Amino acid sequence: MIPLPHWPSDSRSRITGVFTDIDDTLTTDGAITPDALQALADLKAAGLALVAITGRPVGWSEPFALAWPLDAIVAENGAVALRRNASGGLDKLYQQDTATRAANYARMQQVLAHIEATIPGARRATDSAGRETDIAIDHSEFTQLSDAQIEKVVLAMRHEGMHATVSSIHINGWYGEHNKLEGARWIVRELWGRDLDAERAHWVYVGDSTNDALMFDAFEHSVGVANVARFVPHLSHLPRYVTQEERGAGFAEVARAVLSQKGR
């Protein structure tokens, strides 16, 4: 990982959009800090596209989609998105149709109950009531699981035919071919009618954990906030750059790096 100050200025000058994780990337100790919130506002004021992509549930994401200066939040690892509408409310967009979501939801609740019953220490995430298209087991938010316990949960999900990934706080599982990268492609089509793959060099992705590895690999301009160091041994792909600061302060560092080249 290359220290962020070595990100070439000509590359930064071409950035027109920012994708970012939320937990431990925008937030610090579970809340967005003033410097990270100001960084979002400054990026938006400079005309950049802003999309948060998270493993958090859509229900949990709703107040932030209303309050933060974002074009959208893509929740549940790419399955569902929230965007503000002309009346000041939120539109909810899905990648799966209603019947598919209902069938998958029923299957996932059975898997969730089985994991809790058979893996000692495994408990569903406290935000589970707001989830529509995935399940989550807490490993670091309110419950502490060891690496071995986390691996058992991941294997249990995959044994049931689910995709599984590990964020900085949760183990997420779902049915369907969506993920953070497919969610990014989808929301760029939905919001702007464009092909993300054709303009990927103009976007930066900011994240912090193993469920960001796909995005770190996909984006030439990928940045890990400094606390990504915790997950380096488990990352299949590292971010190209790394900030000096952790969490929200690290995101603000990225915003300054991008904005320093605007107008030049």
* 188 and 88 in a common domain: yes
Asked if residue 6 and residue 91 are part of one domain, the reply reads yes
Note whether 250 and 227 are within 8 A (CB): yes
pLDDT digits (tens, 9 = 90+) for 70-96: 999 999 999 999 999 999 999 999 999
Region 115-135: mean pLDDT is: 97
| Amino acid at residue number 186 | W
Is residue 103 located within the same domain as residue 12?
no
Model confidence band, residue 174 (pLDDT cutoffs 50, 70, 90): very high
Of 174, 205, 232, the domain-final residue: 174
Q: Please determine, for residue 24, whether its predicted confidence score (pLDDT) is greater than 70.
A: yes
* Structure tokens, 80: 């569902």
Share of the chain above pLDDT 70, in %: 99
Counting Cα atoms < 13 Å in the Cβ hemisphere of 5 gives 2
* Residue 263 pLDDT exceeds 70: no
**Half-sphere exposure of 176 toward its Cβ, with a 13 Å CA cutoff?**
30
Instruction: Verify that 86 and 117 share a domain, yes or no.
Output: no
- Determine the structural domain holding residue 124 and report its residue range: 98-174
Tell me the backbone φ, ψ of residue 106, rounded to 5 degrees.
-60, -45
pTM (predicted TM-score): 0.94
Last residue of a domain, which of 116, 142, 174? 174
pLDDT of residue 194 exceeding 90:
yes
pLDDT for the residue 179: 96
252 part of a folded domain: yes
Q: Looking at residue 204, which CATH number applies to its domain?
A: 3.40.50.1000
Q: Is residue 71 part of a domain?
A: yes
Count of the separate structural domains present in the chain: 2
CA distance 237 to 216: 6
Cα dihedral 179/21/201/189 (nearest 10): 50
The predicted model gives 23-34 an average pLDDT of 95
Clarify whether residues 105 and 81 are in a common domain. no
Q: Are residues 252 and 184 in the same domain?
A: yes
% of the chain at pLDDT higher than 90 = 98
pLDDT tens sequence across 204-237: 999 999 999 999 999 999 999 999 999 999 999 9
Paired with 19 in beta bridges are 51, 205
- Collapsing DSSP to helix, strand or coil, 85 comes out as coil
Provide the pLDDT for residue 261.
Answer: 87
Burial of 8 (0-12, 13-18, 19+ CB in 10 A): exposed
Residue 105 and residue 170 share a domain: yes
Residue 108 has pLDDT above 80, yes or no: yes
Q: Are residues 41 and 19 in the same domain?
A: yes
Query: 231-255, pLDDT tens digit by residue?
Result: 999 999 999 999 999 999 999 999 9
Which of 153, 174, 195 terminates a domain? The answer is 174
The mean pLDDT of the chain is: 96
Residue 82: count of CB within 10 angstroms of its CB? 20
Residue 109: pLDDT band (50, 70, 90) is very high
Let me know if residue 215 belongs to a domain: yes
Would you state the pLDDT for residue 264? 52
Q: Is residue 142 part of a domain?
A: yes
CATH number of the domain encompassing residue 131? 3.90.1070.10
Contacts 24+ apart (CB under 8 A), 8-13: 9/260, 9/261, 11/220, 11/221, 12/257, 12/258, 12/260, 12/261, 13/261, 13/262, 13/264
Mean pLDDT of 133-144: 97
pLDDT for position 262:
79
Domain membership of residue 264 (yes or no) is no
